[in-house]
Amino acid sequence: MKLRHLMVPLVALALAAPSGAPVLALQRIAYEQYTLPNGLRVILAEDHSTPIVTVNVWYNVGSRNERPGRSGFAHLFEHMMFQGSAHVKKGEHFQLIERAGGTMNGTTDEDRTAYFETLPANRLNLGLWLEADRMRSLAITAENFENQRQAVKEERRLRVDNQPYAPALVEGMAMLYDSTDCFAYAHSVIGSMADLDAARVEDVQAFFDLYYAPNNATLTIVGDFDPAEAKRLIQQYFGDIPRGRDPPPVECRYRFDAGPMRKTWEDQHANLPAVIIAYRAPPHDHGDTPALQHLSTILGGGESSRLHRSLVRESKVAFGAGSQFQSRRGPGVILVFAIANQGVSAEALEHQLLAEVARVRDQGVSEEEVTKARNDHRAATIFGMQTTMSVSQQLQHYAHYHSSLDEIHTELDKYLSVTGSDIQRVARTYLVPENSLTITVVPKAGANQ
Partner 1 sequence: MIRRARLSVTAACALLPALGWWIPRTAGAQFPPSPPPAAPLRPMQFPPFQEVRLSNGVQVILVENHELPIVSLSLAFPAGSRYDPAGKEGLAELTAALLTKGTPSRTADQIAAAIEGVGGSLSATAGADWFTVSSTVLTDHVELALELLADVLLNASFPQSEFDLAVRRFQSQLQLEKSDPGTLARRFFARELYGDHPYGRSMTESSLAALSRDDVVQFARSRLKPGGAYLIVAGDMTLAGARELLERYLRGWSGSAPTAASDPEPPAPRPTQILLVHRPGSAQSNILVGNLAMGPRDPVYYAITVGNRILGGGTDARLFKILREQKGWTYGAYSSVTRRSGPGFFAANTEVRTPVTDSALVELLAQLRRFRTEIVPDSELAAAKGYLIGSFPRSIETPQQIASQVTTVKLLGLGDDYLRSYRERLAAVTAADIRNAARRVIRPDSAVIVVVGDGEAIYDKLVKIAPVRIVDPEGKPLTVEDLKPKAEAVTFDPAQLVAGRDSFQVLVQGNPFGYMTAEWARFPDSLVYTEETVIAAVGLRQKTVVRLDPNTLAVRSVERTGQAAGQNLETAVSYQGGRVRGRAQTPDPRAGTPRVVEVDTTVAEGTLDASAFQPLVAALPLAEGSTFSLPVFEPAEERTRILTVKVAGVSDLTVPAGDFPVYRVEVSGTPQPFVFYVTREAPRRLVKIEIVGQPLTFELTASRRE
Question: What are the distances in angstroms from CA 383 to CA 19, 24, 322?
Answer: 16, 10, 23
Stretch of 73-81, 120-128, 191-199, 410-418 contacting partner 1, by CB under 8 A:
120-128
91 lies in the binding site for partner 1 (CB under 8 A): no
Question: CA 296, CA 44: separation in Å to the nearest integer?
Answer: 33
279 lies in the binding site for partner 1 (CB under 8 A): no
179 lies in the binding site for partner 1 (CB under 8 A): no
Question: What are the distances in angstroms from CA 183 to CA 116, 178, 216, 250, 447?
Answer: 28, 7, 21, 9, 33
Beta strand 261-267 pairing with 436-443: parallel
Question: CA 322, CA 336: separation in Å to the nearest integer?
Answer: 6
Of residues 36, 52, 344, 353, which one binds partner 1 by CB under 8 A? 52
Of residues 36, 119, 168, 278, which one binds partner 1 by CB under 8 A? 119
319 lies in the binding site for partner 1 (CB under 8 A): yes
Q: Is 202 helix (H, G, I), strand (E, B) or coil?
A: helix
Residue among 236 and 264 whose Cβ is closer to partner 1: 236
Residue 80: name the closest of 149, 128, 156, 5 by CA: 149
Q: Enumerate residues 10-29 that contact partner 1 by CB under 8 A.
A: 26-27
Stretch of 235-243, 249-257, 395-403, 406-414 contacting partner 1, by CB under 8 A:
235-243
34 lies in the binding site for partner 1 (CB under 8 A): no
123 lies in the binding site for partner 1 (CB under 8 A): yes
Q: How many residues does the chain have?
A: 449
Of residues 96, 190, 291, 431, which one binds partner 1 by CB under 8 A? 96
379 lies in the binding site for partner 1 (CB under 8 A): yes
Per DSSP, the residues of 346-387 read HHHHHHHHHHHHHHHHHH---HHHHHHHHHHHHHHHHHTTSS
* CB neighbour list of residue 215: distance below 8 Å, 6 or more residues apart: 38, 39, 40, 243, 244, 246
Q: How far is the CB of 213 from partner 1 (least distance, A)?
A: 10
How many residues in the shown chain lie near partner 1 by CB under 8 A? 66
Of residues 14, 45, 55, 132, which one binds partner 1 by CB under 8 A? 132
**C-beta separation of 415 from 294 below 8 A:** yes
242 lies in the binding site for partner 1 (CB under 8 A): yes
**C-beta separation of 325 from 318 below 8 A:** no
Of residues 137, 141, 419, 429, which one binds partner 1 by CB under 8 A? 137
* Contacts with partner 1, residue ranges (CB under 8 A): 26-27, 47-52, 86-87, 96, 98-103, 118-126, 129-130, 132-133, 136-137, 162, 164, 224, 236-237, 239-242, 268-269, 271-272, 302, 304, 316, 319, 342, 372, 375-376, 378-380, 382-383, 385-388, 443, 447-449
